[in-house]
Structure 1
Amino acid sequence: MILTPTPIAGVAIIDLEPRQDDRGFFARSFDREEFVRAGLNPHVEQANISFNHRAGTLRGMHFQVAPHPESKLIRCTRGAIVDTIVDMRWGSPTRLQHVSVELTADNRRALFVPAYFAHGYQTLVDETEVTYMVSGAYAPGAERGLRHDDPALGLSWPLPVADASTKDLSWPLLESWSPQELAAVSGDTT
């Protein structure tokens, strides 16, 4: 594995180092010790799969707040996505900045998403499947979200949004969040 840090601390892009022969290749896609050495939280409690019928489908921007934050390792196993994350950490010098990475079945790349980052993606082709390794269980009361089109975030998506859930389209704009709500996102109640 090759773990490449991004300009936002704690976020890493993970590429495979395949060992090839006549049969194909073998590669590690996760190594707890390498993640620890890179300063990433390698704990995995849950694994999820998301299947999407149409190109342009948008899922996100989701995250969980304290006391149920979760980190994620995202990989596209069929098709292609643009995966985007937003730093929601209170006091972070990169707060509200984002990283976008193209993850495809062909490039076999993954993205490590730390806790307190909003996560979402848009499918680039029909019949796309995404796997998530997650550090914590889903906690509905701790779920929060950002609008994919919130002007305060400046996110751009490669395709028009063809499909999104009512919930994802209904998250409030950041300008309507109180300072206390913003601080509580990462467990800071001061």
Structure 2
Amino acid sequence: MMNAITMDRQAVYEDYERVRLTFHRLLDSASEEELSGATRGTRWTNEQLLWHMLFGYMVVLRLRVLVRLFGRLPRSVSKVFARVLDAATVPFDRVNYVGPRGAVKFYGPRRMGVAFDRVVDSLQRRLAAESDIDLARGMHYPVRWDPFFKDFMTLADIYRYPTQHFDFHHRQLTFSSGDGRQREG
């Protein structure tokens, strides 16, 4: 039987709201020139990196499904699955790089803001409905795919993941912070 965990849901909600405000401030304050500017430490533009940051939240909706499935199976099953995914890191990295380059052509800043609100609202509703037992379920992850993936993560960890991802990439943006100051790295 899985042990229930207690998660500080309010802290997660507050982080989601902080990030939502930051994301909108960045989108609203950036000029086209700034959006097309290079980032710090990536090959993406600022706009492409913003989309990648949004995608970190979108992917959690899919990861929830995997945790629900693999969290009910023996841990060895998700361990094998994670190792297979780790072996596919090179094609994953290519898709992960190319995806934002194409996505910004469809989304653009306005649609990104709407999509961000929609996904964060969905995550907040879903988190509110999770039982402590479900939040304690977990699975193994492909640790080579993302620096914030741990070998084993619970559903509670997955709800925290996108904000860690966002905060990391936020430091790589190179345009004004929205309050007139140049962002520090």
Q: Work out whether the TM-score is over 0.5.
A: no
Q: Which gives a bigger RCO, structure 1 or 2 (Cα 8 Å, sep 6+)?
A: 2
Q: Which has the higher strand share?
A: 1
TM bracket (short chain): under 0.3
Alignment TM-score, normalising by the size of structure 2:
0.21
Alignment TM-score, normalising by the size of structure 1:
0.21
Which is greater in Rg?
2
Q: Which has the higher helix share?
A: 2
